[in-house]
Structure 1
Amino acid sequence: MSRIVDEPYFTHSVYSALTTGIQVKCPKCHGAGVVTADEDNAYFRCLSCGHRMTQDRTVYRYDVHNQCKNCGRYYRVDIEDAAKQHFSVLHVACPYCGASMPGEVHKTAKAFSYASEIKDGKDPWFGLELWYLTSFQGKPVWALNREHLAYLIGYLSAGLRKKPSGGQKKTQADHLPTFMKTAKNRERIVKLLKKLQEG
């Protein structure tokens, strides 16, 4: 009977995969590409056609702050509409008296984006489909990269699964949805994952 000792909770997380790379499909050639990130940016690089993309990980705040020429009060109006955030000057209404006047659009760094979730089988920055993606009974089954895929196959096909020593409360298996861990589904899911591994 094969045995496996589960891995720590963050071993195969989006956060840890930023350095090793999340494998995705290239939007241009549909070949294999990789998404990585550093402190400032997320990067996409296609391993087939060489296509590249960069995405700023900083979240910005856009606003117009001004002194109203009508009532004399100082105000700040946030610009939520992404289409208007690219203008250098916008006409905005004074929140106190309603007078409209032009004001300079200010862009300030507000936060740092820790994208952490895979949604609908897509990476969190570019929205590219994961390379290792399939479905089981209408539910997405995916792996971030080859190492994560090997872990899933090993964990789900093991006869005996143990938590690592050291009293860690959460392990890598805690990321897995219940349908993947259910005994009656495991064998069929392992078959699907092995097909991905061969592909």
Structure 2
Amino acid sequence: MSDTERTGGRHLDGGRPLAAYADPLYVVCPRCGSRATVMTRPDLPELRYYAELRFRPRRLTCGDCALTREWTAERRGNALIGVRLGGPDDPFFGLPLWLQTPCRGKVLWAYNERHLDAVEAHVAATLRERGSGPAMSMVACLPAWVKAAGNRDDVLRAVEHLRAQHADPHHRPSAAYGHETPRRTADLYAGPPY
């Protein structure tokens, strides 16, 4: 069963964590402002657990200006220090996510189309059910303003805006202006994850 099963107005939360949506991530290229992609390196062994995505080496690539950068997890002794997922910035390079837009005085963001589909399925449903999965699924961690029935129409309009934004890899999201330079990863996570 998929993580988002929608029949009519029903949505079943399959328990997938935010990490399940963290590959790839679409970001604003720090050189040219076009859409760039952050992905795990293709030469790595198959993923065993979604949590591994927080530690796996990443590659930033921009198809427009040919920018390429590498990220590897910091080591402290024998331990790898992974990133904390969440927020409108990419946790690996500190760049603004491509899929973000103002909504209800906040910022609605998504890592990629699958993430956007899952948020949309949950928000659009009039009957929302939890599966037997973990309590900390991506859907369970959505902020109350995204899940509020009174905000449904505004959030769904924002989702459609994000879909249109994704279709144009050269139209920089307005919500990404104001922090063109990469932020220090430690500075990104002072608040809640969404």
Deviation at 1:127, TM superposition (A): 0.7
Q: 1:193 to 1:41 in 2, by over 3 A?
A: same
SS at structure 2 position matched to 1:34: strand
Distance (whole Å) between structure 1 residues aligned to residue 56 and residue 140 of structure 2: 29
1:45 maps to which residue? 61
Q: Identify unmatched segments of 5+ residues in structure 2.
A: 1-7, 42-54, 166-194
Code of the residue aligned with 2:114 in structure 1: it is: E
Match of 1:54 among 70, 93, 104: 70
1:101 maps to which residue? none
What does 1:23-172 correspond to in 2, within 5 Å? 23-37=26-40, 41-60=57-76, 109=77, 111-119=79-87, 121-164=88-131, 166=132, 168-172=134-138
Distance (whole Å) between structure 1 residues aligned to residue 125 and residue 56 of structure 2: 39
1:175 maps to which residue? 141
SS at structure 2 position matched to 1:154: helix
1:2 maps to which residue? 9
Which of structure 1's runs of 4+ aligned residues deviate more than 4 A? none
Q: 1:35 to 1:167 in 2, by over 3 A?
A: closer
TM-score (structure 1 length as normaliser): 0.65
Moved more, 50-59 or 144-153: 50-59
Higher strand share: 1
Q: 1:182 to 1:173 in 2, by over 3 A?
A: same
Between Structure 1 and Structure 2, whose CA radius of gyration is higher? 1
Query: Root-mean-square deviation (CA), in Å?
Result: 2.1
Number of matched pairs? 145
Q: Identify unmatched segments of 5+ residues in structure 1.
A: 61-108
1 or 2 for the larger relative contact order (CA 8 Å, sep ≥6)? 2
8 Å contact from structure 1 (residues 7, 172) kept in 2: no
